[in-house]
Amino acid sequence: MSIEENKVIARQCFLELNKLFDKPGSPDTADLNSIMSPKWAKEINSWFPGLRQLWPDHHIDVTDMVAEGNCVWCRLATNATHMGEWEGIPGNGKHWTNTGIWYLTIVDRKIVDIETLFDSLPIVKQLGGTITPPAPQ
């Protein structure tokens, strides 16, 4: 597959993830699953119900993309409204934004591996949470 074809699959991944949050009721994951390896289709489908309760309006924008060989790096901007308990912070209706990176490996038109890098501290701060360091020993 070409680098451009891999980038199309990466963009499709985020388009399909956003569709899952946009539709009320039980989402249809068939289109997302069609571009995922069975392992990753199962993994993402297991995350989804909890994420949808926690961040029901979650949205992902791809702000930059770099690809080489069968790897695609996606810089992402994410945002959502906090509706369920997360990291000990009760749902409070506050809106948050964040950035991060997904590193996708694509083989035979399927995403076969995903590595993510997000710093959750900005979200904790935006939701009014704090981090308390452990007491000195």
Structural domain includes residue 132: no
pLDDT for 44 beyond 90: no
The predicted-structure confidence for 77-104, as pLDDT tens digits, reads as follows 999 999 999 999 999 999 999 999 999 9
CATH number at residue 70: 3.10.450.50
Per-residue HEC secondary structure of 98-124 comes to EEEEEEEEEECCEEEEEEEEECCHHHH
Q: Count structural domains, the chain.
A: 1
Other C-beta atoms closer than 10 Å to the C-beta of 29 total: 17
Buried b (16+ CB within 10 A) or exposed e, 13-28: bbebbeebbeeeeebe
Q: Which domain holds residue 88?
A: 3-126
What pTM does this model have? 0.88
Instruction: For residue 135, tell me if it sits in a domain.
Output: no
Let me know if residue 83 belongs to a domain.
yes
Query: Would you say residue 13 has pLDDT above 90?
Result: yes
Considering the domain boundaries, does residue 53 fall inside one?
Answer: yes
Which residues are CB-neighbours of 2 under 8 A, at least 6 positions away? none
The owner of tokens 């997302």 is 32
Does 19 fall in a domain? Answer: yes
Residue 49 within a domain? yes
Give the dihedral sign, CA 105/33/5/8: negative
Report yes or no on 133 lying in a domain. Answer: no
Query: For residue 134, is pLDDT > 90?
Result: no
Tell whether 37 is covered by a domain: yes
